């Protein structure tokens, strides 16, 4: 029963999410845009705004806030406990899900305390500096293929989609060439949030926590960038949508098969970026005091939420670069191809399946991050730096070298 629920509930949730995303972006926007009074709907700026808002409101925020529940429940299951199950909405306990509402209410109504000598402006700015970059980075995440409104109820091929006049790409910033470089650029801004929080609190311990956070995040950014370079070499592009298309629907071609070492290195380094448990010495909830020790109420809540959104984002990037993004195994644009067998599927259904698959991959990586977070003990600072600079960095450099060699060799021999 529990196992069935474990798979059925996320699948149903993400199918609904896919209906919302594909429905609004693939159907409503072109429908409005097809009228003379609604030409603004096809404006790329307006579309980007709608896509980002939908992505944040329909996918990211629900997952991030449910992750607070999932973390507590999953850790309970891993530790032979039951976990939260007391909060109830109108008597409905729902396996503890109402707890995240209770948590949010508590955060909002708690006293918003600012230390007497703290710099009020920076103190207020820091949580925003931590959370805004994580939202912005979602602009590059592709959550589906290209939707062609007039062909929704037909079986179409790639060339037909490309020729479509009212097509909408299911990605906030389509054709954004710098792609993942943008992610690295924006993600490194999040360091300012943590360091500012430590600095502005007028507290020695939070300052030290902020320093630990900045040293850790800067060290691991190097490895993170180098680890994913192998994937760039394999796909020949930086643009996430193009990377997903380059991976194709066959799981043999996905990044995790072609770049297993790169996947592990990137996942490790990016987990260090999210500052969660094996690498949580910047905040260290109970022993080493962290950079947000002076924060209370919703200001702390924003840091907390930013951390979970980072988890979702890391999962989205892992899914995009190493697990085929929105690709469903063996589902091509016109339907399922398996060997000589062919099952034609309508364009609209294909899009829904692909977006659902993307959501499930994201939640799979979220689950795996929580699993690691509740399995590993915390690193010491020296272990952390040793791991980052002496192990991950050389190995990622070697990974680039070997990958480049293999790519060159394959090109030279004409595949």
Query: Which residues have C-beta within 8 Å of that of residue 358, sequence separation ≥ 6?
Result: 143, 144, 319, 325, 326
When the beta carbons of 1 and 116 are compared against another protein, the nearer one is: 1
Rounded CA separation 333/3 (Å): 32
Instruction: Provide the terminal-to-terminal Cα distance of the chain, rounded to the nearest Å.
Output: 48
Q: Which element (helix H / strand E) includes 169?
A: strand 167-171
The phi and psi torsions of 22 (rounded to 5 degrees) equal -70, -35
The gap from C-alpha 125 to its chain's centroid, in whole angstroms, comes to: 24
* Minimum gap (Å) between residue 264 Cβ and another protein: 8
Closest distance to another protein from the beta carbon of 287 (Å): 20
- With respect to another protein, which residue has the nearer C-beta, 145 or 387? 387
Tell me the closest approach of the beta carbon of residue 380 to another protein, in angstroms.
8
Minimum distance of another protein from residue 391's CB (angstroms): 7
Nearer to another protein, 79 or 340 (CB): 79
Q: Which is nearer to another protein, 5 or 410 (CB)?
A: 5
Q: For 396, left (φ over 0), alpha (ψ -120 to 50), or beta?
A: alpha
The least distance separating another protein from the CB of residue 2, rounded to whole angstroms, comes to: 4
Question: Which residue number, 339 or 377, has a Cβ lying nearer to another protein?
Answer: 377
Contact 204, 126 (CB under 8 A): no
DSSP 28-83: IHHHHHTSGGGGGGG-HHHHHHHHHHHIIIIIIHHHHHHHHHHHHHHHHHHTT---
CA distance 25 to 138: 16
Q: How distant is the alpha carbon of residue 399 from its chain centre?
A: 24
Pick between residue 120 and residue 380 the one whose CB is nearest to another protein: 380
Distance (Å, rounded) from C-alpha 402 to C-alpha 148?
40
Measured from the CB atom, is 192 or 367 closer to another protein? 367
Tell me the C-alpha distance between 410 and 218, whole Å.
35
Report the nearest approach of another protein to the CB of residue 367 (Å): 9
Least separation in angstroms between residue 195's CB and another protein is 26
In the complex, least distance from residue 296 CB atom to another protein, rounded to whole angstroms: 30
Residue 145 sits at φ, ψ, to 5 deg, of -80, -160
Task: Report, in Å, the least distance between residue 318 CB and another protein.
Answer: 16
Nearest one of 298, 359, 284 to 131, comparing CA atoms: 298
Of 93 and 110, which CB lies nearer to another protein in the complex structure? 93
Tell me how far apart the alpha carbons of residues 62 and 24 are, in angstroms, rounded to a whole number. Answer: 18
Positions in the binding site for another protein (CB under 8 A): 1-3, 6, 74, 77-82, 264, 371-372, 374-376, 382-383, 386, 391
Question: Whose Cβ is closer to another protein: residue 5's or residue 89's?
Answer: 5
């Amino acid at each position: 029963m529990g196992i069935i629920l474990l798979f059925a509930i996320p699948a149903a949730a993400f199918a609904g999410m896919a209906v919302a995303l594909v429905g609004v972006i693939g159907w409503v926007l072109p429908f409005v845009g097809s009228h003379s009074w609604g030409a603004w709907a096809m404006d790329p700026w307006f579309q980007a705004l709608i896509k980002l808002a939908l992505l944040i409101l329909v996918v990211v925020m629900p997952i991030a806030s449910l992750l607070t529940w999932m973390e507590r429940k999953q850790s309970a299951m891993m530790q032979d406990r039951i976990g939260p199950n007391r909060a109830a909405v109108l008597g409905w306990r729902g396996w503890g899900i109402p707890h995240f509402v209770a948590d949010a209410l508590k955060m909002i109504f708690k006293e918003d305390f600012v230390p007497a000598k703290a710099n009020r402006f920076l103190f207020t700015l820091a949580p925003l500096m931590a959370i805004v970059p994580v939202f912005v980075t979602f602009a590059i995440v592709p959550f589906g293929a290209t939707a062609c409104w007039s062909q929704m109820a037909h079986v179409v091929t790639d060339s037909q989609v490309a020729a479509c006049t009212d097509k909408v790409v299911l990605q906030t910033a389509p054709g954004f060439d710098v792609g993942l470089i943008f992610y690295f650029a924006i993600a490194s801004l999040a360091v300012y949030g943590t360091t500012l929080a430590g600095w502005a609190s007028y507290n020695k311990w939070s300052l030290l926590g902020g320093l630990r956070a900045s040293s850790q995040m800067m060290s691991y950014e190097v490895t993170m960038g180098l680890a994913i370079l192998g994937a760039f070499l394999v796909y020949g592009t930086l643009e996430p949508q193009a990377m997903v298309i380059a991976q194709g629907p066959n799981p043999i071609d996905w990044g995790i098969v072609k770049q297993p070492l790169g996947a592990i290195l990137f996942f490790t380094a990016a987990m260090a970026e999210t500052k969660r448990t094996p690498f949580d010495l910047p905040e260290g909830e109970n022993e080493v005091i962290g950079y947000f020790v002076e924060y209370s109420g919703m200001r702390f809540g924003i840091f907390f939420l930013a951390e979970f959104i980072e988890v979702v984002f890391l999962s989205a990037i892992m899914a995009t670069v190493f697990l085929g993004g929105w690709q469903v195994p063996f589902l091509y644009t016109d339907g399922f191809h398996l060997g000589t067998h062919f099952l034609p599927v309508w364009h609209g259904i294909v899009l829904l399946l692909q977006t659902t698959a993307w959501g499930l991959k994201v939640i799979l990586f979220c689950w795996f991050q929580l699993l690691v977070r509740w399995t590993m003990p915390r690193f010491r600072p020296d272990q952390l730096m040793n791991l980052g600079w002496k192990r991950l960095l050389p190995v990622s450099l070697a990974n680039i070298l070997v990958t480049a060699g293999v790519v060159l060799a394959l090109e030279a021999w004409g595949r």
